[in-house]
Each structure stands twice: as structure tokens, then as C-alpha cells.
Amino acid sequence: MESNRDLDLDPNKDDLPLRANTNHMLVRHYVLDLTVHFQRKVIGGSIVLFLEPGVVSSKQGEAGSISNTPVQNLSQVSSKHDVSSPITPEPNKVRPPEEPSHLCGGNDVSSVLWGDESEDFTLVLDCCDLTVSKVEELDVTTVDDLKKLDVDQQHANTDHPSSSLVQRVVSMPSVCWRLQHELYVQCSRSPTVHNAQPLRFHTDQWSLQIRKEGVCAPHDFPRAVRICYETKLTGGSVRWTKDQDGRCCVYTMGSPINNRALFPCQEPPVAMSTWQARVRAPCDYTVLMSGKNQAFPKPAETGFLQWEYYVTMPMPASTFTIAVGQWLEAGVKHPNFEVEKTDKPYDKEPSFSLDNDDQQYVCSHMDYPCRFMVSAARAQAVIPHRVFAPPCHLQKANDMVLPLLPLCLTAAHSVLGVHPFSRLDVLIVPSGFSSLGMASPHIVFLSQSVLTGERNLCGARLCHEIAHSWFGLAIGARDWTEEWISEGFATYLEDVFWSHVQKLGCREAEEQRWLKALLRWRRLSDELQNSEEELQVLRPNKENTGEVSESGASVVKHALNPEKPFMQVHYLKGYFLLKFLADQVGEEKFLDFFKVFVGKFHGQLILSQDFLQTLLDTFPGMSSRGITLEAIISDWLDTPEMPEWLRDACSEWLRTPVVQEVKEEVAKWIHFSGSGGKGSKRKRAGPKVNFKELSPEQLVLLLEFLLEEPMLSLSTLRLLETTYNLQAQDAEVKHRWCELAVKHKHTAAYRDVEQFLIHDQAMGVYLYGELMVQEDARQQALARRCLSIIKDDMDQSACSVVEEMIL
């Protein structure tokens, strides 16, 4: 047992608290009714929570105890200790100051100290930077359609008829989901309970806590609760910014604090819920959201349109995504805006009903309308899809993203089978987005950095984000610190899908993957040398992975570390672990296993050992070769070192033909720089060297090898630029070119460096450090000038890292 001081979460530390007491009470469904106010830069309205008591029915639970009882056959995240209840300070502890409480209700509670020894049950929600004005208990007995439902004896509660009715709704079978959603909406509009004890609430830095006086147990707590609130401009869940055409927009950008600054919620992954949302935005704006349906706007109040979305697959609240802006759809005619036509390889197929289950397929997850159970869905290689972008990028989205998308979807289906989600929107997000992409249910964000150069970077990134539909969304990590379950799998599958899209032969595909493996090995080696060891471990909680407190609360280790969003160890080391496992059984068998694993575990949360043990059970011969669960965990998951297999494999990748070809070109450039690149005669005559054409990945490796050279002549750098037309290459190539320009103080290319820092913010963070470390006044001025230009639109995490570099 750890010491009690671990219960204290210092907000200055880098762990993220998950305070929701999910073992006591679960949110089963959210109904959001929100308005986007661009002038004030707030999102305001209400959210209604439909609740169900969890597996722990005691009134509060003793801090420090552990519940191993799963919730809906799923248990959850990291720490042993209960951090959910700040009600009673520990003896001899100095608690950090909290924000002022917000208390409401019909009675006078201003003198009540929230932290007293109350016997009342407290519902704890994850919440940050929200202005909560009111919390209400809803009287769903006023809903006429709800009264018509027969209340089963198991749901009957004569003392709390409203609770019985809510329980009846949340327990409806999936075949009735349309009726269920309609009842949720009607209930969300119910009046408050007449003459009832009001709900009191309190907010601190990380949570919203709600009580009803005299209610001491979860089973007696209201089951339908409405919270009225507004977001704050300081909230980290949404980003208010401008798109590439200078027009206002707002979107969820994958914040380390997830969605708790967008709406009060239960953030632990185990709190799987469905949601409906009604969002009002100005008429010239488009609202995109995680939603099963393609929303069509309806008139709202003057100057506003209303968009409605819903999901039927229970998901963690952290996966909810919204983007509101003046986006345009690629491949669609727009008034006053012409886009040159390209041949579309795919016409959208009509959707089909999921109400008729295919009884031949049996799922293992909780009951919801699952596409895996529908034969038509299993045969659908390409799901309906759309691509959105700001006007300045609409042509590129039309020319590159829209034609690639059905090819990537088809490749993914050929490898993993049925698409877990019924449709997909892709949005080119503002330049301040800090990643190349982000996947959420039914929607993918792409950085504008993937739109330049050849299609390789864009196609590979689309494949990566599409892979998250299976690993990261349909199958999620039960412990958030095990990010490799999402990112390692998507990185591995990205190569598989992309080689399918390119229709490469076996040998050609294998060589391409060797080259990518070498590039990733170099990146991983650099990261392991320049980061803290505790950030390099794939399973930070080790043997405590998946454990939570008695209430269900926990912490996510290092989630708030400002450097963590820019680290790739979970992507790269996780990818190499899967490559190692594939090497043991053969890739074809390994991918066949993936498909079977997806069929068994979709709709569920897993830990590393769930995947690994299933693999070992499927291929028992691995254990006889010493590849056991314990050995894999020790060598790959629980230690920061580079596994021995990876060091050996790297030497093999260096000897492959595609790499040898790059080495030959490097030798030519070094020779040219040392001799042929000098002298006025040679400059006039031109270089007598024949340089081979290289693929984008080979070009990245070439520039990385040249970066290791202590000296390159300026004429060599100039010839490099013109030979490979580096300004027109993709962002990965341009990044290395900028590094070369900085290292060798190639002032003629400083304009390229500036453009990269401004327009490729997802990749340029550490280039600022290279500009500063040279201690060159002109380079340092360039770094400061670029930051001043983009600071207001820059991702906050990226901005803080850069500011630390240049100050």
C-alpha cells in the first residue's frame, strides 16, 4: 500500500486526476443542448445526465480501498488511491486553495461549508474551467410517453417512481434505440421536481460535486440531472481560433484534459456512454461532430441554425468531438466558389438499417446496435464519407484527400473487416493544430501539413487515423497510460493499409516497411536519449495497471507533462513490439489474428495482457521459444530500454537494398561537398554527378544521414534544394531540410524555415530549440519572430514548450 500522501494531487505536478466516482454511479447517456457564441467565445447551455448506480452501492466508500469488481465487465485506470473526494482534508495536511464554490438551490446554503462531515452521497464529475450556474433534478414522471412503458418488477421503485422510469429507459434493448433516444430527449426537457430538496453543488479545480440533502446512497440519488453551464475562454478542451482564411472557428483539439472543460462528465474510460447533442451556431457556420448520423441543419432563433447528432455505440466521454467553422465540403458545388473537378472513385452508398440483427454473429460487448452483427455492414468496404476544409485548402482536399479516402477505407476493410462506424467526416483543421491527425468516432481531423508534396504522407496519415476506428475507439485501453494499445497498433496498421492502397508487390511492400522501420528506429533512439526514462515506459503503472480506488477514481500518470504530447515513444515502441510479434508468427497469420481479435473484443476495453495472452494462447509455440507474457512485459512494456531484438533488427534494415541505395547517394553528396562543390569553374560547368530519384521516405533518410555530417558546403545545400525540389516536398522532407539549413547556417533557406514554422506547426516545435541552441543572433531572432506571428493561434501545449526554449 502506498503512503497516504499519494492521495494529494498537486496541480503543479504532471498527473491528471480522474475524479469521477464511476463505481458508485455511472452516466449512461448525455443529452447536450448548446449554443456557440463566437462574439463572447463561449459555448453555453445545458447537459442532462441519465444515471445508473454502479457496482459499489455504499454511500461513499472508504478512501484507499480497492474494488476489483468490474463495471459492466470492465474495470478501469491507474492508481490504487481514491482521489475523488476532497470533502475531508487529511490530518496535518495543507490543502491547496480551491476556486470559489458555486452553490445554488431554493434554500440558504451560503453558510454551509462544503467540506464538512456530510453523510450525504456525493456524485463526482470530472470538470474544469466551467461556469456552472444551476444543477436540477428532473421530474420525468411528467413525460407522457414514458408513463406508457411497463416498468418491470426489477426496475420498480415505489419510493422513487422517477428513478424507476429512468432505469427502464437506460435498460431498453438496442433494437429499441430510436424510441430510447426520443424518450431521452423528452426527459431532458422535463421540469424540475416540485417541492423537492434542491441539489447543491461545488466546483474545485478538477471536479463538480453534487449532493441532495438527506440522500445517503447512490440508489436514492436522482437519476436525471440537468446542469446549466458555460465554458470559459481559459478552458483547455476547446480551441477558439481562426482558420487559414482568417475566419473564426472552434474545435476540440485533443487536449490532455480531454472534454472536462467542454461539459461535466465522467472521464474514466470505463464510463462508456451514449450521447445526443443539439448545437446552435450562426447560419454561415457548419457544425461537425462525433455522430452516427449526417446532420442536416434546421432553422433556430434568428441568425442561427440547429444541428443534431447522436451515437448509439457506448464510448468514453473523452472521444466526443466537435468542430464549428465556415468549412466547405470538397466535391460539392459552392456558390461563388469553383473547384476543378477530379474523378471521384466512389459514389456514396445508401445507408442501411441496423435494426435487423444477423443472428449468426454473436458479440461479446454490452448491448448496442452493432455493425458487426449486420451482414450488409460486414460487406461494406467503403462507408459514406465527406471531406471538409477552409476555402483556401478546398482544392487540395478535393484533389488529394477525397480520392485517397475510399482507397484507404477499402484497404482497412480488407485487413480488419467490418468498419465499426457507419460514416466518416474528415476535416482539415486550422494551422495551430498540434498533431498530423486525430481520430474520433465518425470524424477525423487532419493537419494541413499532409496536403503538400506527393500523396505518401497524406495517404499514410489517413490510414493511421482510420486504423483508430478499430484500435483506440472500437477497442480502447482500460488504462489510459497504455497508449500503445491505440497508437502502436495504428502505426503498425498504417503501413499495412498503405501498401494495400499502393498495390505493392510482396517484395516492394516489404522493402518499404523496412525503410520506414529504420526511420522510426532512428526517431525512437533519439527520443530515448533525450527524454526522461519514466516517460519511455509503455506501461507506467506496471503491475497496478487497471486498478482504481473504491470509488473508481484514479490518476493518469504524466498526462499533463507539457512535453508528452510531442513524444512518440508509445507510437514507435508499440509499433516495434507488434513488429516483433509478427516476426515470430509471420505477418499473414498475425493479421489474421488481428481480425479475429477485433471480432472478439470490439466494443470493449482491454489491457496489454489481454491482447498478449490471447496471442500466446492462439500461437502456443511462442512460449516454447521463451516468448512468454512475463518476458514480453519485462522486455517491452515495463522498462525504458531498447529491446535486444530491436537493436539486432536495425542492423538488418541498414543492409536492405532501398537503404543501400540511399547510402550510395549520400556518398555522392559528401564527395561533391568535399571536392566537386567547390571552385568557380565547377560552379559554371555544373556538377558532373548523376543523382538518382528517391522516394519521399528515402529522401528523408538521405537528409538525416547528411545531418550527421559536420560540414556541407553552401553549394551542396543549394544543389540539394534544386535537385530534389525540396520546397515542393512533403512536410517530413521539409523538416529535415530546415534542420540542415539551421545547422549549416544556410541563410538563403531561412525563408523556408520561417514558412515551415508558421505553416507546419504540428511538426516544427523542436526546430525552435535547434534555432536557439546555435547561439546565432539571426537564427534566434527568426525563432522569436515566428513565435510572435503565430502565438495567438498556436496550440497552448506547443506554445508553452516553445516559450521555454526561447526564453
What confidence score (pLDDT) does residue 675 get? 77
Q: Give the cell for residue 346.
A: 466512389
Does the structure show a pLDDT above 80 at 735?
yes
Identify which has the larger pLDDT, 512 or 343: 512
pLDDT for residue 635 is more than 50: yes
The yes-or-no verdict on residue 110 having pLDDT over 50 is: no
Q: For 118-174, what is each residue's pLDDT tens digit?
A: 899 999 999 999 999 999 999 999 998 887 776 554 555 556 788 999 999 999 999
pLDDT of 683 > 70? The answer is no
pLDDT above 70: residue 99: no
User: Among residues 579, 584, 626, 564, which one has the least CA distance to residue 797?
Assistant: 564
Give the DSSP letter of residue 549: B
Question: Among residues 722, 776, 713, 763, which one has the least CA distance to residue 740?
Answer: 713
Q: Give the pLDDT confidence of 339-352 residue by residue, as tens digits.
A: 444 444 433 444 45
Spatial distance between the Cα atoms of 265 and 72, rounded to a whole number of angstroms: 18
3-state SS string for 70-100? CECCECCCCCCCCCCCCCCCCCCCCCCCCCC
At 76 the pLDDT is 32
> Per-residue confidence at 107, pLDDT binned at 50, 70, 90?
very low
For residue 357, is pLDDT > 60?
Answer: no
Burial of 685 (0-12, 13-18, 19+ CB in 10 A): exposed
Average pLDDT over residues 100-125: 61
User: What pLDDT does 28 receive?
Assistant: 98
Question: Can you tell me the distance from the alpha carbon of 324 to that of 247, in angstroms, rounded to the nearest whole number?
Answer: 11
Helix, strand or coil for residue 153? Answer: helix
Please tell me the total number of residues recorded for the chain in this structure. 807
- Nearest alpha-carbon partner for 289 in 317, 320, 314: 320
Non-local CB neighbours of 438 within 8 Å, separated by 6+ positions: 253, 254, 321, 444, 445, 465
- For strands 273-282 and 25-37, give the pairing: parallel
Residues 185-238: tens digit of each pLDDT: 999 999 999 887 789 999 999 999 999 999 999 999 999 999 999 999 999 999
Q: Output the nine-digit C-alpha cell for 42.
A: 463561449
pLDDT tens-digit readout, 521-536:
999 999 999 899 999 9
**Per-residue exposure over 704-713, b if at least 16 CB sit within 10 Å of its own CB, e if not:** bbbeebeebb
Question: Going by C-beta distance under 8 Å and a sequence separation of 6 or more, which residues neighbour residue 490?
Answer: 439, 464, 465, 467, 468, 471, 472, 571
> Are the C-beta atoms of residues 574 and 111 closer than 8 Å to each other?
no
Average pLDDT over residues 635-660: 94
Report d(CA 61, CA 187) in Å as an integer: 30
Q: For the residues 79-104, what does the mean pLDDT come to?
A: 33
User: What's the confidence (pLDDT) of residue 156?
Assistant: 57
Q: Would you tell me the crossing angle of helices 696-707 and 731-743 to the nearest 10 degrees?
A: 20
Q: Which one, of 778, 796, 775, 799, lies nearest residue 787 by Cα?
A: 799
**Residue 302 scores a pLDDT above 90:** no
Q: What does the mean pLDDT of the chain come to?
A: 87
User: Which is nearest to 418 in space by CA: 364, 363, 369, 378?
Assistant: 378
Question: What's the rounded Cα separation, in Å, for the pair 464 and 472?
Answer: 11
The pTM is what?
A: 0.89
Give the pLDDT mean for 171-186: 96
The total of other beta-carbon atoms located within 10 Å of residue 49's CB is 28
Q: How far apart are CA 516 and CA 698, in angstroms?
A: 9
pLDDT tens-digit readout, 36-53: 999 999 999 999 999 999
354 pLDDT higher than 80: no
Residue 244 has pLDDT above 80, yes or no: yes
Give dist(CA 125, CA 263) in Å, integer.
Answer: 10
pLDDT computed for residue 563 by the predictor: 84
First to last CA, the chain: 42
DSSP 138: B
Calpha distance 611→261 (Å, rounded): 33
**pLDDT category, 774, cuts 50, 70, 90?**
confident
Q: Over pLDDT 90: what percentage of the chain?
A: 75
Checking if the pLDDT of 601 tops 70, the result is yes
Banded pLDDT at 74 (limits 50, 70, 90): very low
For residues 107-121, give the mean pLDDT. 60
Dihedral sign from CA coordinates of 488, 489, 494, 495: positive
User: Which residues participate in catalysis according to the annotation?
Assistant: 465
Residue 476: which H helix or E strand, with range? strand 475-477
Cell of 685: 560547368
